A = this chain, B = another copy of it.
């Protein structure tokens, strides 16, 4: 039988990259050691994914390895921090080689894409649960904080929204007009393999272009709400300007509005920047090949006002996802 230590050695311990200088000591001791770059702050975020809650039972382990790390990197992106490394704590019902192979491949493929290393963690028997803690770094004062939005700021969204929620609706047979197989597959890519917007976040932070940012995990309205609350401002959001995913764009207006505004699982960035920075935002986005769309304005007056393409008020009766009340 595969022991805990064999499991770690076989699937999670890789030769240390000499090039990855911040990692002074990786897997295999009581702690990992990192050597922070002098003068930089360390950004830290933890996310926990639970089977049956964040992903379906029987989910493809390769996709799961990708997604577990992606949602954490998305938090670094939203802060504007450069990724350094991560720890993985994993509860598994059994030490299944096929599952471990897939999961570790998905995990390390994304880690390699961002040139970061798994530096430590824990494995145990239990209901399938994945807890990743990521570390990044940034210069003091450059973080894209939720409390930094200013009245008059533009509100921007990276990439597109809603296809992940559309895929989920397809799986759950919630759609009045079901998707064809190709559309379901295309939407599902956004649900299973989100791409964290790290390069964009880092660019916006390091060049001092954006004020506030958050990543969209629970739905735009709820996540933007965190920026509004902590910045003590309001906003007007043009719901029809929201960039719908390629598949969602083919759906009717009501579905498009609902899933763009409050779908969740998007892992795009919502950020605010002064009007004077519009050209800089577009240049930064272009330099990292990430489309961005301007979708509204930060207001001094509190509250979130949803409007349509003509500026008329919209009442979508939407709410954001909450793990304990839904």
Q: Residues of A with Cβ closer than 8 Å to B?
A: 1-5, 7, 24-25, 28-36, 38-48, 50-54, 75-76, 78-79, 81, 87-92, 94-95, 119-127, 129, 131, 133, 135-136, 138, 140, 143, 145-147, 213-215, 230, 322-325
Contact = CB atoms under 8 A, between A and B. Distances in A.
The winner among A119, A120, A124, A143 for most chain B CB atoms within 10 A is A124
Contact of A79 (B30, B47, B143): B30
B140 A24 contact: yes
A29 B79 contact: yes
The winner among A45, A51, A133 for most chain B CB atoms within 10 A is A133
Contacts of A94: 324
A182 to B, nearest CB: 33
A119 B44 CA distance: 9
The winner among A5, A46, A125, A214 for most chain B CB atoms within 10 A is A46
A50 B126 contact: yes
- How many protomers of this protein does the assembly include? 2
Given A50-B125, A127-B127, A324-B95, A43 B28 contact: no
B129 A3 contact: no
Contact of A121 (B4, B39, B46, B214): B46
A52 B91 CA distance: 12
B48 A44 contact: no
A13 to B, nearest CB: 12
A45 B127 contact: no
Contacts of A81: 31
B87 A46 contact: yes
Contact of A30 (B25, B124, B215): B215
A120 B324 contact: no
Given A29-B79, A46-B89, A127-B127, 10 more contacts: A2-B324, A24-B41, A30-B45, A30-B146, A33-B143, A45-B120, A46-B88, A48-B126, A123-B324, A129-B131
A194 to B, nearest CB: 15
A184 to B, nearest CB: 26
Nearest to A36: B36
Contacts of A322: 3-5
Nearest to A125: B323
A222 to B, nearest CB: 9
Contacts of A79: 29-31, 33
B41 A35 contact: yes
B126 A87 contact: no
